[in-house]
Amino acid sequence: MTDRPTNTPGRDTGSGISRRRLFGAVGAGAVIAGAGAVAGRATGPDDTGVAAHGVVDFRGEHQAGIVTPAQDRMHFVAFDITTTDRAQVVAMLKTWTEMAARMTAGLEATEDGATGDGAYQAPSDTGEALDLDPSQLTLTIGFGPSLFDDRFGLAPLKPAALQDLPHFPADNLDPTRSGGDIAIQACANDPQVAVHAIRNLARVAFGTASVRWSQLGFGRTSSTSTAQATPRNLFGFKDGTNNLKAEDPDALSESVWVAGDDDQAWMAGGSYLVARRIRMLIEQWDRAVLKEQEAVIGRDKREGAPLGQTTEFDELDLESKGPDGPFVPVTAHVRLASAQHLGGIRILRRGYNFTDGSDGFGHLDAGLFFIAFCRNPLDQFVPMQLELARSDALNEYIQHVGSAVFACPPGLRDGEYWGQSLFEA
């Protein structure tokens, strides 16, 4: 796979500003140049120094949107395939690929698609991103276990690692927020750019696939690069301090990327995406005292230091004890989710905060849309979540209400289309 180019997060290209037609070259250049200094500051604790307005390469060894420094906003969609015609699915994937390559480059979904198709045709781009920057849009595709049933002849190619997740204790899953044949994760620093991308892909899928569920995330809850500050989740705690980072390729090879001899060959260089919609019972949480909150998490609230330590990146020491026992309680979230506790298991978290109106009982419907990438969910996410579901003190304050798993194939070479390694295997 050495002939595949490497994704370049945040690379600015000439094409990166071509969607913004209202700007002269001088003005646009000044904005892009200035953006490097303050990238992400407008919208979150992001100090990556990459250009928040720029282009992330669509093609490369791996799909973008996995170890790409987490953008600030997300729109995630799961589709049901509504046809049994395999050729129609492949045709959709080819169309999607062309559109995705254009939109991630900051272009309309099709050439002059918003207005140039002729006055008496429906526009092939819906237009709401016409004046917006590329905003580091990434589009990441995954295939769910249900795609490998008997409809499309894909059953022999189903990876052993791609199984519906088991029922975990206290799961309260809504089937209308779970599963799906195909998922697309859109991440960008402008939510309108992410929504535009998903909406246009959904539009051309008409007759082949329909939206099963979708989720908007307004704020990232994980860093995936050492250059990013750690954001906070809606419990007010820094989240993802010990996350895997793009700068640690050995750990990514160990825990995120599927190796050539792991399973089905078409997944080599890919990864598995686990999505969990986690409702946070924020009203209950907000009535818990600070000591309780910190004991539940296992870190202090302001600094994010492991209990018993002083700064955020101090090593998590599960053995350290005070007069009342271990500094990090035996039911603390960070203990149970830690590699130390789990025999070395690590995953790449890439989740987002959400707030979706109210729940009808006087509360906000808010929480964390958890996304994780791992090399094998059965070996990594499942044992981790089993441990958490059984023992995590946090369970008093959260409820898992949606769940899905998808196989994300490797990145694309020039000319390849999404799913080619699977459909032409």
CA distance 419 to 7: 18
- Window 344 to 383, contacts with its own copies (CB under 8 A): 353, 355-358, 360, 362-364, 366
Per-residue binding letters, 198-217, with its own copies (x by CB under 8 A): xx--xx--x---xxxxxxx-
- Find the radius of gyration of the CA atoms of the chain: 21
281 binds its own copies (CB under 8 A): no
Instruction: Indicate the Cα dihedral angle 198, 199, 203, 208, nearest 10°.
Output: 40
| Burial group, residue 138, by CB count within 10 angstroms (0-12, 13-18, 19+) | buried
Q: Which stretch binds its own copies (CB under 8 A): 154-162, 186-194, 371-379, 408-416?
A: 186-194
List 83, 86, 98, 229, residue binding its own copies (CB under 8 A) = 229
53 binds its own copies (CB under 8 A): yes
Beta strand segments in 129-285, E? 138-143, 182-188, 209-217, 219-220, 271-280
Phi, psi at 275, each rounded to 5°: -115, 135
Q: How far is the CB of 366 from its own copies (least distance, A)?
A: 7
- Window 56 to 75, contacts with its own copies (CB under 8 A): 73, 75
Please choose, from the candidates 231, 244, 249, the residue with its C-alpha nearest in 3D space to the C-alpha of residue 344: 244
34 binds its own copies (CB under 8 A): yes
List 35, 105, 227, 372, residue binding its own copies (CB under 8 A) = 35
Residue 327 CA to its chain's centroid (Å)? 32
Element (H, E) at 201: helix 191-204
- Closer to its own copies at the Cβ: 149 or 174? 174
282 binds its own copies (CB under 8 A): yes
Q: How far is the CB of 189 from its own copies (least distance, A)?
A: 6
And the tokens for 1?
């796979």
- Closer to its own copies at the Cβ: 73 or 335? 73
Please choose, from the candidates 342, 32, 88, the residue with its C-alpha nearest in 3D space to the C-alpha of residue 206: 88
Q: How far is the CB of 214 from its own copies (least distance, A)?
A: 5
- Window 128 to 147, contacts with its own copies (CB under 8 A): 128-133, 135
10 binds its own copies (CB under 8 A): no
- Residue identified by tokens 């395939």 is 81
User: How many C-beta atoms surround the C-beta of residue 61 within 10 A?
Assistant: 17
And the tokens for 242?
């010990």
100 binds its own copies (CB under 8 A): no
44 binds its own copies (CB under 8 A): yes
Per-residue binding letters, 142-181, with its own copies (x by CB under 8 A): ----------------------------------xx----
Q: How far is the CB of 348 from its own copies (least distance, A)?
A: 22
CA distances for 205 relative to 77, 94, 200, 239, 297, angstroms: 12, 11, 9, 36, 42
- Closer to its own copies at the Cβ: 41 or 321? 41
Instruction: Indicate the Cα dihedral angle 421, 142, 371, 215, nearest 10°.
Output: 160
226 binds its own copies (CB under 8 A): no
- Closer to its own copies at the Cβ: 140 or 200? 200
- Closer to its own copies at the Cβ: 108 or 392? 108
